[in-house]
Amino acid sequence: MVSSVALLFGAVAAWAVYTYVSGLASNIAKARKANLPYIVVPAHPYNKLWQITFWIWVPLIKRLPKSWWEGWLFVLEPDWGYRGGRKVWEPFGENFLVVGPGAISLFTRNAETIRQVTARRELFPKDTTDYQILTMFGQNVLTTEGSLWRMHRKVTAASFNEKNAAHTFAESINQTHGLISEWLGPDGKGHKTITTAEHDTMTLALNIIGYVGFGLRLLWPGQTLPPDIDPKLAKYGSLEPPSGHTMSFAQALASTLEYLLVLLLVPWSVLKRLPFKWARNSWEAKENYMGYMDEFLQDKIAEVRQGEQPKDSMDIMGQLVRAKYGKSASESSELCDSDIIGNAFIIIVAGHETTANTLHFTFTELANNPAAQRALQKDVDDICGKDDPSTWNYESVINPLLASHLAAAMNETLRLMPAVPEIPKHVAPSRGDQVIIIDGEKHTLAAGMTVGLSAVSVQRNPRYWPTRPSKVQPGQDDLDDFEPERWFRSSDSARDEIEDGDTEDYGGFKGRDTSDSLFRPARGAFIPFSDGARSCLGRRIAQVEMLAALAVVFQKYSIELAVDEWASDDEVEKMSAEERRRLYKKAQDMCRATLRKASSRLTLKLHGGMHVPIRLVKRGEERFVNVVDTDELA
Ligand code: HEM
Ligand SMILES: *[C@@H]1O[C@H](CO)[C@@H](O)[C@H](O)[C@H]1NC(C)=O
Ligand SMILES: *[C@@H]1O[C@H](CO)[C@@H](O)[C@H](O)[C@H]1NC(C)=O
C-alpha cells in the first residue's frame, strides 16, 4: 500500500520534472533559432501562479548571491519596463527573449520590429485569452480577433468620426468648467491644495464619454440636471437611485470601475456569497450597472423600432442597436445583445481611464515644469485669445492646437507615461513560424511566441529620439525628462512606411495630426495608441478631449505643485524669489519620485493612494511657476 502511494507520488513528480525540463529545453531551442539574446527564467512572467505569488519568491531569491539573479530576476517583477528604465536593456540591445518552461516571449524596443508586428495583424494577432476577463459584460472590439473582431470593429468604428470629435471638443470644454469649480473650491478663489487630481480627471473623462458616447448627463458634485432634460435620460443623471436600483447610475458605474479588478478576478457566484464589505459593494455595483445597461438597451431598441432619428451625439449604443435592429441591419446582424452591452462597457473603460490618467499626468508634469507651462499658456493665448471657451470653433482651432505646445505636452506625457506601457501580441499559433527583419538580419519567431511591444522603452530609446543634456540629472541625456520642447526639434529620420497588405478601412482617424515643422518620430518609435489596423479607435477623441481641457484650464489659470509639506501659506508669502525657487525644488523632486512609482493595473497610474498635491491659481496670482526656471525667459 505504502509503496504504491510512494510510486504514484514518484511518478507524478517525475512527470512534473519531465514537463518542466522538456518545456524549457524546447523553448531554449526556439530562442536559439531566433538568434536573439535570451534569458532563462524559472517561471514565465505571464504565468498566473507566478503573478499571484511573485511577492513571496522575489525577496527570497534576492537573498541569494546577486550574481545568480541579477541578469534575469527583473523581468519577473511587475512594471519592469516602466520602473527599470533603460538600464535593464543595456545587456541586450533592442530585443530579447524570455524563456520559461511554459512560454517564450520576445520583448522589443526596436521600431523596425514594432512596425512589422503591428502591420501584419493576421500573423501577429492579440492573444485573446489575455483579454477574457474584459468580456464579463459581453464580447467586444477589444477582446476578439479574426472575423469576429472585424465585425465588432466595423460597428463600433462608425461612431468615431469628425462630427463626433467636434461634439467631444464642445463637451470637454463644458465639463472642464466643472473640474475648475471643483479645484477652485466653494469661494471660487483657488489656492486650495488638491489631493484628488486623479479622481477628478476620472470624473471629467467619465462625464465626457458618458455624454458624447451615450447621451447621459453625469454631474459634478453640487451640479443639478438641466430642467429640460429628456425624462428617459433623467433616470441616469439623477443623483438619487430611481426605483428598481439601490445606486444612482453614476455611482453604479463609478463603483463598477473602482471594483473592476475584483469583478474581473473573483467568479461572480463566489463573490455574491462572500461576507466582506468589498465583495458586497462590488456585487451591488455590478448588479446596478447591469440593470441600468439592460434598461438602456431596451430603451434604445424601442427608439430604433419607432424609427427615431439618430441623436446629435456619438450615441454609440444607438449606433450598435441600429446595426442589429435598424432597417439596414445586415452585415452586423450577428451581433447579439450582450455584444452591444460588452462594446458599450469597453468603450467606457478604454475611453475613460486612459484619457483621465494621461490628462492627470500632463497637469502634474506641467506643474512640475514651469517653463513648459508658460510656453503652453502663450500658445493658448495666441490660438484662443480671451474668448469665452464656449465660443471656440472646433474647425478653426483644432489644427493650431495640434501643432502647439499643448499637443507637445500631451505627446510628451504619452511618451514618458503611456497608459498602456506594453502592448501584448503573439505569433499566430496556427500560421507557423514568422520571419522578421531587424537591421538587415532575419530572425525566426516561433509560432505561439508572445511579443511585448514595449511602448515605454521604445519611446525612450536614444536611437530614435534626438537628445540634449538633462537639466535635472547632470551628466545624462534628457530622454527620461519631461521636455515638450523636444517635439519642435528637427527630425531627420524619414518615416519608414511598411505596407500593410491589408487595405481595408477599419475606421479610426486617418488624417495627419501633425505639420511638417514638428518632430516626427520614426514609425514604430511612438506607439501610445498602438499602430496598424488594431490601433486605438479613440485616438482622435482622446486628443481632442485632452487639448480642450488643457486649453480651458490654462487660458485663465496656472497649476502649481503644493508645498504644504514644507511651508505654510504665510511663510511662502514672506519668501524671496530665490527662497521660493529652493522650496519649489523640494516639491519638484518629490513629484518626480512619486511619478516614478506609477504602476500598471489595467493602465499606468498612481496606485495605492499615492498622489502629487497641486493647486489651481488664477494667472497673475502664481506663487512659484512665474519665478522658477525663468532663465529660459531671457
Ligand atoms: C490617452 C488616451 C488613450 C490611450 C493612450 C489609448 C491607448 C490604446 C491602446 C494602446 C490600444 C491598443 C490596446 C491593445 O492592443 O491591447 C487601444 C485600443 C482601443 N482604444 Fe484606446 N486609448 C486612449 C483613449 C481611448 C478613447 C477615448 C476611446 C474611446 C472613446 C478608446 C477606445 C479604444 C478601443 C475601442 C480600442 C480597441 C481597438 C481594437 O482592438 O480594435 N481609447 N487604445
Ligand atoms: C454645460 O451643459 C449643460 C447642459 O447642456 C448646460 O446646462 C450648462 O450651462 C453648460 N455649462 C457651461 C459652462 O457651458
Ligand atoms: C504628436 O505626436 C504625433 C504622432 O507622432 C505627431 O504626428 C505630432 O506632430 C505630435 N505633435 C506635436 C505638437 O509635436
Q: Give the pLDDT confidence of 164-203 residue by residue, as tens digits.
A: 999 999 999 999 999 999 999 999 999 999 999 999 999 9
DSSP E strand stretches across 573-627: 599-601, 603-605, 614-618
Plot region of 614 (φ>0 → left; ψ -120 to 50 → alpha; else → beta)? beta
Across residues 220-237, what is the average pLDDT? 81
**Burial classification of residue 192, based on how many CB atoms lie within 10 Å of its CB (0-12 exposed, 13-18 middle, 19 or more buried):** middle
- Which of 358, 536, 547, 604 has the most ligand 1 atoms within 8 A of CB, as the residue to mutate? 536
Give CA–CA dist 386/377, Å, rounded: 12
Task: Answer yes or no: is the C-beta of 316 below 6 A from any ligand 1 atom.
Answer: no
- Which of 171, 174, 204, 230 has the most ligand 2 atoms within 8 A of CB, as the residue to mutate? 174
pTM above 0.85, yes or no: yes
pLDDT tens profile 53-99: 999 999 999 999 999 999 999 999 999 999 999 999 999 999 999 99
Of 102 and 264, the structure prediction assigns the larger pLDDT to 102
pLDDT of 495 above 60: no
The mean of the pLDDT values for the chain is 90
- 316: its cell numbers: 454609440
- Cβ 447 vs Cβ 428: under 8 Å: yes
Give CA–CA dist 363/345, Å, rounded: 27
pLDDT of 215 above 90: no
DSSP E strand stretches across 464-507: none
pLDDT of residue 497: 45
Q: Residue 535 — very low, low, confident or very high, per pLDDT cuts 50/70/90?
A: very high
Give CA–CA dist 482/484, Å, rounded: 6
Q: Provide, rounded to the nearest whole percent, the portion of the chain with pLDDT above 90.
A: 69
Q: Residue 503 — very low, low, confident or very high, per pLDDT cuts 50/70/90?
A: low
**Burial classification of residue 624, based on how many CB atoms lie within 10 Å of its CB (0-12 exposed, 13-18 middle, 19 or more buried):** buried
Of the listed ligands, the closest to the CA of 453 is 1
Residue with cell 535593464: 88
| Fold that domain 152-350 belongs to in CATH | Cytochrome p450 (1.10.630)
Give, in order, the Cα–Cα distances in Å from 175 to each of 106, 198, 496, 536, 586: 42, 15, 39, 23, 33
Q: What are φ and ψ of residue 558, in 5° steps?
A: -120, 155
Ligand 3, atom 6, residue with closest C-alpha: 514
Give CA–CA dist 117/105, Å, rounded: 14
- Cβ 353 vs Cβ 208: under 8 Å: no
Of 506 and 525, the structure prediction assigns the larger pLDDT to 525
Closest C-alpha among 99, 101, 91 to residue 38:
99
Closest C-alpha among 478, 480, 458, 479 to residue 525:
458
pLDDT of residue 272: 92
Across residues 20-30, what is the average pLDDT? 95
Task: Answer yes or no: is the C-beta of 114 below 6 A from any ligand 1 atom.
Answer: no
Task: Answer yes or no: is the C-beta of 521 below 6 A from any ligand 3 atom.
Answer: yes
Task: Answer yes or no: is the C-beta of 152 below 6 A from any ligand 1 atom.
Answer: no
pLDDT tens profile 370-407: 999 999 999 999 999 999 999 999 999 999 999 999 99
